[in-house]
């Protein structure tokens, strides 16, 4: 079995770091700061898409993105936490499956975070925003991650907290599980998968029981 995890809202909570970095970038360019709920509603999308949705003109978007990243890099480890049960979920999953991370976050910073939490060694691959032309919900990030594995006769699952994760899985032709530990509500996730759990540990326990039944 191969299990691919999203990061934000699935394994980690970096909401504080994300919001602070957005606030910082809007302040630097003397723009009025959007409402936090409007920012949170867009988490899971690429940063450039988020800024456009928040009203930043095209010609300024990448300046905002770069300013965001510069600030985020400084604060990410201090202002990010592992979600409840996430460490146990990864450790348990590694006992019976090959693992990968597929995120819209910058891969370089994602790797730093997972090393900080002592979990990077459990993963065979990490695909971040800079590794693909077309981020989630496109299939490309998942397909790129799967290039690292022998996929023959193996069940493949994507675990994520937003419709972006579930759509990416659908587009890549792999199974998906929605978790309620992050940003999209259950009624949204239900439109894209019929397998939904409270958190990543419940999802992993379900997959472990599936594997036991199949073998």
Label residues 169-207 b or e (16+ Cβ within 10 Å = b). Answer: bbbbebbbbbbbbbbbeeeebeebbebbbebbbbbbbeb
63 counts as catalytic: no
Catalytic residue among 6, 8, 131, 199: 6
Residue 18, burial from CB neighbour count under 10 angstroms (0-12, 13-18, 19+):
buried
Catalytic sites, residue numbers? 6
């Amino acid at each position: 079995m191969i299990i691919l995890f999203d990061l934000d809202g699935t394994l980690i909570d970096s909401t504080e770091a994300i919001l602070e970095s957005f606030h910082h970038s809007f302040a630097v360019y003397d723009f009025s700061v959007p409402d936090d709920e409007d920012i949170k509603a867009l988490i899971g999308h690429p940063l450039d898409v988020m800024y456009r949705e928040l009203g930043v003109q095209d010609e300024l978007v990448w300046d905002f993105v770069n300013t965001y990243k510069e600030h985020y890099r400084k604060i990410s480890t201090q202002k990010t936490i592992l979600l409840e049960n996430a460490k146990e979920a990864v450790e348990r999953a590694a006992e019976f499956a090959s693992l990968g991370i597929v995120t819209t976050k910058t891969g370089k910073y994602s790797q730093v975070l997972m090393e900080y939490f002592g979990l990077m060694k459990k993963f065979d691959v990490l695909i971040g925003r800079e590794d693909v032309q077309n981020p989630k919900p496109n299939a490309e990030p998942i397909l790129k991650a799967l290039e690292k594995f022998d996929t023959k006769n193996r069940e493949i699952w994507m675990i994520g907290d937003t419709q972006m994760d579930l759509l990416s899985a659908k587009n890549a032709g792999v199974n998906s599980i929605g978790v309620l530990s992050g940003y999209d509500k259950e009624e949204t996730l239900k439109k894209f998968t019929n397998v939904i759990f409270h958190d990543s540990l419940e999802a992993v326990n379900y997959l472990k029981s599936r594997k036991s039944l199949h073998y």
